[in-house]
Amino acid sequence: MPIERGLQYLRQMQRVTLKNLPMPLEKTEKWKREHPDENTMKTIMSKKGPISRSALPPYGIDPIQAEGRLPWILTVPKEPYYEGVEEARQYLPISLRTLQRLIDLRRINPARPIDLPVLCNTKLFSIQPDQRQFGLQLTDEGADLFSTPINLEIQWVSSELATAAIERCGGILTTRYFDPVSLSALIDAKKFFERGEPIPRCDTPPLNAIEYYTDPKQRGYLANPDLIREERQRLAQKYGYKLPDASNFSPMFHLRKDPRQIFFGLAPGWLVNLKDQTILKPKDNKFETFYHS
Amino acid sequence: MSLVLRNILRRCPSAIITQSSLRFWSSNGQFPSHPMDTEEYENQPRKSITELPDELTERGTQPKFISGYETTKDEWEWVDNVLFKSAIPEPPDHPTPSGWFPPNPTLARQWPYFVDRDRFHSYALYVRILPVMLEYWLHEQHRYYLNIFRRRVEYDIYAQRTRRFSLLELISGDIWALDNDLKHYLTKRIELSHDKSKELPVLSQVDEIKRHILVDGEYEEWIADFLKEKGF
């Protein structure tokens, strides 16, 4: 019934105005006039000259201003080893030294798991998901200084030394993939909650990343935990330190996220109400199967 | 529109223009670029919502299924963990494994100058890469402003070195005395290190209004050691 649709609009929309309602608009006469087609363009455009004969010079040649300058297409050299740079994923670096400094100055609490939103709240990093940036990567610098056990979740690790430095102190490292939609929720969590959207579920990584995130050597979140334990022993033997006992750790250290989960302790599909400090959870089964598949 | 027509219009009183049947002005293209601000568009009659069937509305899908929900306050601590807090915590009183030292006020009081720390309790030491005038030839100097607003150039081709400076900010007291002491310390360090890339004498610029010292070269680690010795 159309009246019910109107009432639904009133219920769901924050503001109902004449300009806000989804109405089809009649085309005014000026708007109805057609776009010029090929035949009209042919009668208008000239039949001589370089444009009609498809003989324009390459872009960047201007007889007045150039005076010996190369056209734009020749000024930039061709460097084929940069092929694929537009599609490559970027990760902003965070060193073990900065991590240790943040823990020392009490800006990060090592008792709780250290995650991407916790690191972004220090405002040292500006991650831009639309610039193909997918999170943070851990670098070597400061491996000698590092001396606190932490439960760290990072998006990329390229060197074994960094993983060894964390595990030597008794910490745990996992690498985790976030797609751009969930990344925008993690970077500025307060801004995301203010938008009023339910927490998104994280997608599976793309094909060229699945190998990385199922690899126990990189401590991927999709890897087999038994293989990860073996790799920890192997690294300890390689770098010459003893792995501390896992029984002494607090339950915070064993916290891991579900592959579809973004925030620790919050499941996808939930809505957060910042003003009343409550969380709204959908009851129906359909939502559970969708968000937890 | 041509200049002649524009001048005619300026001199005609507006009443004549609106009443006349001739339209002097027209859109540049053959079709309007966008109908949004035209009078006809804004004042068109709008249909009421009850008349429209579902297929013609612009926003396509309606939510056909809305589930019930429950509210809880149980997991609020996890939300609190993730929110941004602007309070900067107090640092510890002892030196830390990452190489951070707290300031030593008893040692710092004896000098005629004082270097403050920034709000995150670290030294106000920064690297500066200043732009360089790329072309010095006379016939290219009119393009000076273009070059200044381009990307900053690190390497100074004419001086044949990198153009990096170390900046020390938040200085109060006798800046010239600090400048003197800093230069003595850095020259001693350079002589001890026998590094051929570091040149003597050490050049610096003092700005009393901005309360900073700009040292030519990348001496950040040594300046940090100097500040640690003085107890700042």
Distance CA A153, CA A176 (A): 7
Contact list in B for residue A279 (CB cut-off 8 A) is 71-76, 79
Backbone angle region of B8, left / alpha / beta, with phi > 0 → left and psi within -120 to 50 → alpha: alpha
Contact list in A for residue B100 (CB cut-off 8 A) is 101, 104-105
**Residue B36, CB half-sphere, CA atoms under 13 Å: how many?**
3
What's the total number of domains in chain B?
1
Helix or strand holding residue B3 (H, E): helix B3-11
pLDDT at B49: 52
Helix or strand holding residue A154 (H, E): strand A151-154
pLDDT at B19: 46
Query: Per the omega criterion (within 30 degrees of 0), is the bond before B103 cis?
Result: no
In a domain? residue B212: yes
Contact list in A for residue B51 (CB cut-off 8 A) is 2
B16 — pLDDT class (breaks 50, 70, 90): very low
Question: Could you tell me the residue ranges of all domains in chain A?
Answer: 90-292
User: Does ipTM exceed 0.90?
Assistant: no
Residue found under tokens 């040149």: B199
Cβ atoms A174, A221 nearer than 8 A: yes
Domain of residue B129 covers: 106-140+149-230
Tell me the sheet residues that pair with B215. Answer: B166, B204
- In this structure, how many other beta carbons lie within 10 angstroms of the beta carbon of residue B186? 22
pLDDT at A146: 94
In a domain? residue B208: yes
Please determine, for residue A174, whether its predicted confidence score (pLDDT) is greater than 50: yes
- Choose, out of B82, B84, B142, B146, the residue to mutate when testing the contact with A (most A CBs < 10 Å): B82
Contact list in A for residue B88 (CB cut-off 8 A) is 107
Contact list in A for residue B98 (CB cut-off 8 A) is 97, 100-101, 103-104, 142, 145
C-alpha angle B72/B77/B81, rounded to 5°?
140
- Model confidence pLDDT, tens digit, residues A121-152: 999 999 999 999 999 999 999 999 999 999 99
In a domain? residue B129: yes
Q: Which residue of A has its CA nearest to B119?
A: A105
Q: Check A105 against B77: CB less than 8 A apart.
A: no
Percent of chain B with pLDDT over 90: 43
In a domain? residue B12: no
- In this structure, how many other beta carbons lie within 10 angstroms of the beta carbon of residue B175? 18
Question: What backbone torsions phi and psi does residue B36 show, to the nearest 5 degrees?
Answer: -60, -50
Please determine, for residue A64, whether its predicted confidence score (pLDDT) is greater than 70: no
Burial of A239 (0-12, 13-18, 19+ CB in 10 A): middle
Q: In this structure, which amino acid lies at residue B149?
A: F
In a domain? residue B66: no
Cβ atoms B136, B156 nearer than 8 A: no
Contact list in B for residue A145 (CB cut-off 8 A) is 97-99
Whichever domain contains B132, its CATH number is: 3.30.780.10
Rounded to the nearest 10 degrees, what angle do helices A160-168 and A225-239 cross at?
90
Please determine, for residue B151, whether its predicted confidence score (pLDDT) is greater than 50: no
Give the torsion sign (CA, A12, B80, B83, A113): negative
Distance CA B56, CA B47 (A): 12
Chain mean pLDDT for chain A: 88
Q: Which residue of A has its CA nearest to B92?
A: A105
For residues B126 and B199, the model is more confident at B126
Which alpha helices (H) appear in chain A, and where do they start and end? 2-12, 29-32, 38-44, 72-75, 96-104, 116-120, 160-168, 180-187, 189-195, 207-213, 225-239, 285-291
Measure B204 CA to nearest chain A CA, in Å: 29
Q: Is the pTM of this model over 0.90?
A: no
In a domain? residue B98: no
In this complex, the residue of B46, B73, B89 whose CB is nearest that of residue A23 is B46
In a domain? residue B225: yes
Distance CA A287, CA A270 (A): 10
Q: Check B59 against A22: CB less than 8 A apart.
A: yes
Q: Which residue of A has its CA nearest to B102?
A: A105
- In this structure, how many other beta carbons lie within 10 angstroms of the beta carbon of residue B133? 13
